[in-house]
Amino acid sequence: MGPRILLFAFAAGLACAQGNHAFPEHVGNIGLNRAPVVWTSPESIVRDLQSNDEAALAKAQRLLGLDESYFRDAPNEAGLQYFFLGASRGPIVIVRAAHYSFEYAAVAVPSKGTWKRIAVFSCWCKYENEPAFMSIGYSPQGAGPAPAPMVTVRAVGGGSGDYEQTEAWFGLIDDRLVEIISFASRKTSCHPESPCYNLRRWFDGRQMIEGRNDDLRNTQPAMNADLAVRDFKSITCTPYKWNAANFRYVPSGPAAPCRATPPK
């Protein structure tokens, strides 16, 4: 029987170097640190993140994965969320903190009477950030693993006429994260010297669907527009398949006009 799989989906916009400078990896523009860290409990992390004791606050920031030398004050938001996978697997916990435009989310699992932080993610969420940085749902049914719980992280960024949201999914094999797929889910650009355009991509587990509007000379696309399928002039679908050997989704054919109007 194969390993239990937990899918994570993460999205990030253009990240600030200061917010991610302490993170050894980046997926798109999201900071990622997979170094394991032992926690006494998730609740103690959240409690100390809101503490007036400077030593307790600094320790909690370090355990969460923030750089306490950069953030010396308590986060303006902190919280946790449990997700239960059943008695055989145990819970997954997400601890998050926000320092205004900077957002962080750590994923931890039970480990021998304590908790083990297996990853922490960061973004510089200066621009519109809807949906929220992190939420819990389920993986889509598709060519890959069976539907599984899914953590989704979304963040956007941009500037000077550009806006981008990127998305990356990871699978959890035991206590190890493996990247499954990553892509730019939204892009808009509008500059005086070139036509405006917008693009939207979404992945349903079987195909990558892309809607585009190009050569928008007279109307600047809304930076945070949540466009419906009917709003795009061009919609294409690229088939994907699950590559079990490499544990990821890979394209299995060229992009072509969708045979039917895909769901948004």
pLDDT in tens, 196-245: 888 888 898 889 999 888 766 555 555 445 555 567 778 899 999 988 88
pLDDT at 142 over 60: no
Give the domain ranges of the chain: 5-257
CA distance 171 to 168: 10
Q: Which residues face 193 on adjacent strands?
A: none
Q: Share the mean pLDDT of the chain.
A: 77
Residue showing tokens 């938001």: 77
Token output for 64: 């969460």
pLDDT at 260 over 80: no
pLDDT in tens, 105-124: 999 989 989 999 999 988 87
221 or 34, greater pLDDT: 34
pLDDT in tens, 63-87: 999 876 667 788 888 999 888 866 6
Confidence (pLDDT) at 222: 52
CA distance 7 to 226: 24
Q: Which of 12-21, 29-38, 223-232 has the lowest mean pLDDT?
A: 12-21
pLDDT in tens, 164-190: 887 888 777 778 777 888 888 888 888
- In the 3-class helix/strand/coil scheme, how is 98-118 assigned residue by residue? EECCEEEEEEEEEECCEEEEE
CA distance 10 to 25: 14
Confidence (pLDDT) at 27: 80
Token output for 261: 């109007």
pLDDT at 19 over 70: no
Q: Mean of the pLDDT values across residues 122-132?
A: 63
